[in-house]
Amino acid sequence: MYQKIYDYFYNLTSHVRETDEPQTYLEHGKFALVNSSLLIWAGLLGILHAVCPWWFKFYTSEIVVKSFRKLCDSHRHKDELNRLMPEGYVLKKHLK
């Protein structure tokens, strides 16, 4: 019975181990929660910036670029980035 429960949870969490540099369940959860929260916050401030362009100049784009850089530097999304980025893209050196 315990083995079935363990196997079920192990299969559910296989995503965190499917990359070249796997994470634990808690590491993945923390990264996803923090990164997503920052992106939501940046999106809300981006909406305010759309109405009042003198507020939060470049804040949203800086957060998005920093988030993207974290993903590139983690080396856990190489296949995804190689699939989505055009050949010769500026950040190609991060994908090696």
Domain ranges of the chain: 26-95
At residue 9, the pLDDT reads 67
pTM of the model: 0.68
Residue 22 near residue 30, CB atoms below 8 Å: no
**Tokens encoding 31:** 């990264």
At residue 25, the pLDDT reads 79
At residue 22, the pLDDT reads 76
| pLDDT less than 50: residues of the chain | none
Nearest to 19 by CA among 72, 83, 78: 78
